[in-house]
Structure 1
């Protein structure tokens, strides 16, 4: 028998609306805040308060989109699908919700997780860089990641090409822990070349997404994904980055949230060192090896 929306607990309501995939992060935040203030709030009241114009076109459109989604995707059927796929839900109301997300500007209200959530209990370091790293960038990464993994640090990245992929693979190869945060549903692989790595991480490490099953890669998903990478960790390490690159977006998001950024310097005539050198010039910690990173992280934890 299908359960009515009104009969669900607050946590289940949050999860259900996240599974529907029709609610923006901003609306999910409003939904959570509304239900926290008054658990008896109806969806019509919540939508109306989200749209100050009340009965205007935006209100009617939002209500119609949600009502259509409710009919098409009943809660019990969707819950069963996620259970079958061994996907766990981490909500902002949960005790083990990461503190870094909790204290950020736009925390994910619900995160879909596949793998070992205990990896989030360790100190985390986000590592980002170019999708087309140079031989220098690869050498730096292969020298830095194993000692960090050996210290019990969880290495966080975005399961993209290049540095991201290498961070995850090197952490696993070193017997360490790694978390991938992606901009698609957990059943979608992007880029396709990371299919084996993503499956392995979902089984033995941890992969997280803010997006429900079936969500395809969209350009705007990745800047949103980057905020989760930046805010999950104590600090962000940038190995190689072009000017105005996605890695710099992640670094700047970290800085906006008052988190530390470490950068590896490079040749001033290398396009892939422009971003990291600019970060250092702007005040990011200049790190030359894993020992520098560990020293900086120890100071953050004291």
Structure 2
């Protein structure tokens, strides 16, 4: 039985962040040690109810009986634990780093030297389309892998633009790999799962939930050297992602927009608060070389 099997069984039973896993391992010594921990002790360690701890122990044992690794291999899904050399070291710096990533596609993109997030409004206008024609070619030429979230609007434009200009792109999902969301991006997701990269911290069988998407944003910013925002309203998930990037010490670039556009109100405000104004990708390359 491999260590990966133990990790997968636990992750499918009760997904823990890395810091909480370390707390469990401090008491149980090994992941499989939770089988001999009493339900009371497990409940205290994980700060959960005793009934839930009993159910956790039972579910873990059930998952341990399944051949999870070979099942996912048959679907071209690769689990990458935090102990793997293929796990992005940048994510280990997060206070709530994921214990496991599930990937489909070109996993080498995860550890590419240069990655940059390109995000924006789900209601992106033609202005974002035009912005990417100025931003993307220099970034691709400089070897950046484009990271985004496969959502409608700017995320979709970022992925498609990177592919159009011959580059590589990573989609970070807010659900498991058995689900394609939004359905409008089914063709794009299938293509990326073969030729680019899909990545998620959620086991493949987990569907989308509203609170998963803010969680995945920390991975988008965590993977990336910097963040580029094309359009964003004042209150949006995009702005939350920029806050995460700033907390992680990343540069935030924002495309200034028309003062009459609600979809540029957030980006203009980001510039007011210190984000770097950007209108072509060569500026990012110049700043990166001289930082």
TM-score, with length taken from structure 2 = 0.90
Q: CA deviation at 1:199?
A: 0.8
Report what 2:77 is aligned to. Answer: 87
Q: Does 1:127 align with 2:118?
A: yes
Q: Does residue 66 of the first structure (1) align with residue 59 of the second (2)?
A: no
TM value normalised by structure 1: 0.87
Equivalent of residue 118 in structure 1, options 108, 117, 138:
108
* Distance of 1:216 and 1:208 partners within structure 2: 14
1:243 aligns with: 234
* Distance across 1 between alignment mates of 2:55 and 2:61: 10
Distance 1:125 1:46 in 2: 46
Q: Distance in 1 between matches of 2:67 and 2:154?
A: 38
State the Cα distance separating 1:249 from its structure 2 match: 1.0
Pairing of 1:181-260 with structure 2 (within 5 A): 181-260=172-251
2-structure distance, mates of 1:46, 1:263:
52
Unaligned runs of 5+ in 1: 1-6
TM-superposed CA distance for 1:186, in Å, is 0.7
Name the SS for the 2:66 alignment partner.
helix
| Root mean square deviation, CA, Å | 2.4
2: distance between equivalents of 1:93 and 1:46?
27
Partners of 2:170 and 2:265 lie apart in 1 by 27
SS of the residue aligned with 1:255?
helix
Shift of 1:296: 2.6
3-state secondary structure, aligned to 1:76? coil
Task: Give the aligned partner of residue 19 of structure 2.
Answer: 29
List gaps (5 residues or longer) in structure 2.
Answer: none
User: 1:157 and 2:129 equivalent?
Assistant: no
